[in-house]
Amino acid sequence: MRGWGPVEQPLYDAELGLVGKPDYLIESAGQLIPVEVKSTRNSKAPYDAHIFQLAAYCLLVQRQLGKRPPYGILHYANRTFAIDYTRQLEQAIQDLLIEIHAQEKLRELPRSHHSAARCSHCSYRSTCDQRLL
Contacts with ligand SF4, 93-112, as mask; x by CB under 6 A: -------------x----x-
Q: Measured from the CB atom, is 16 or 106 closer to ligand SF4?
A: 106
Name the nearest CA neighbour of 18 among 77, 101, 90, 79: 101
Other beta carbons within 10 Å of 34? 31
Q: Cα–Cα distance between 60 and 19 in angstroms, integer?
A: 8
Q: Residue 63 interacts with ligand SF4 (CB under 6 A)?
A: no
Q: Cα–Cα distance between 18 and 45 in angstroms, integer?
A: 26
Q: Measured from the CB atom, is 31 or 120 closer to ligand SF4?
A: 120
Task: Give residues in contact with ligand SF4 (CB under 6 A).
Answer: 106, 111, 118-119, 122, 124-125, 128, 130-132
